[in-house]
Structure 1
Amino acid sequence: MNEKLVFVYNADSGLLNFILDAAHKIFSPSTYPCNLCALTYTLTGLPRWKRFVKNLPWPAEFLHKDELAAQYSVADAPLPAAFWWDGHTLQPWISAEEMEEFETLDEMMTAVSGRTQQLLLEKQQVG
């Protein structure tokens, strides 16, 4: 059914945006607007995050905010956030407010694991 998790960064795609975002994270990390980027794009965090995502029960897609608008016609969602794609509609899964509250990668992975288990239970009850 093409179900998947869709994680969306609060940043635009492209090399120039990547360079500007990297500089922002280095020179002013406290004002960087994407906690998803800040927690996962670190030397130790990225390999752990990739292994974690690979073991989720559904595939995960990672998009930038401009790609979210292009692929799903969603242009006004607060980001960063995660969504559930059921094959037809994109539904909020982890809000921007929740995403910004995570202080560590472990906290975010624990929340994603919990939401994943909750979604698995809901799907079992329906199906």
Structure 2
Amino acid sequence: MSKVSIVFVYNADSGLFNEMKDYVHKMVSPSSYGCNLCAITYGNAGMKSEWRSFVDDLPIPVVFLHKDEFDKEYNYPGASFPCVYLEKDHRLDLLITPDEINGCNDIGDLKALVNDKLKFIAGN
């Protein structure tokens, strides 16, 4: 049986130092922060509960990776972040582009985008 998952990739690196740096950046200059996926889905206390509930209810398992983790796991040259991939048997298909994520203003926009993409996949 095929393993299918949705892979959300942040435009940020992993690690405590990077998390602290990103936290400060979002507080001091949110308009110049480079990861709209992070900005929309995370608050000061971690992942927003509305987003957590949404991804927990998706019909496909979800994976969240930072860009350095993504590079290590998939070695996928030329990827741009933030983005979302559909993974099937370790093969990636771009599901949501950085421009689409960056066009979202809030969780509602992002949820609608994800739902639209999943409806398209289910229809094919």
- Report TM bin, short chain: over 0.9
State the number of aligned residues. 122
Alignment check: 8 A CA contact 1:45 1:105 kept: no
Distance 2:76 2:47 in 1: 28
1:59 corresponding residue in structure 2: 61
Flag structure 1 segments of 5+ consecutive residues without an equivalent: 123-127
Alignment of 1:63-102 (within 5 A): 63-102=65-104
> RMSD of the alignment, in Å?
1.4
Structure ranking higher in strand proportion: 2
Summarize the Cα distance change of 1:50–1:13 in structure 2 as closer, same or farther, 3 Å threshold. Answer: same
Higher helix share: 1
Q: Look up the match of 1:17.
A: 18
Deviations 1:69-122 (A, max 9, x none): 000112431100000001131110000011101011100100101111111111
Query: Percentage identity across aligned positions?
Result: 37
Contact between 1:8 and 1:79, CA under 8 Å: does it hold in 2? yes
Runs of 4+ in 1 over 3 A off after TM superposition: none
Using the size of structure 1 for normalisation, the TM-score is 0.91
SS in 2 for 1:62: strand
The runs of 5 or more residues in structure 2 that have no matched partner are none
Whether the 8 Å CA contact 1:102–1:108 is kept in 2: the answer is yes
Is the Cα–Cα contact under 8 Å of residues 68 and 75 in structure 1 kept in the other structure?
no
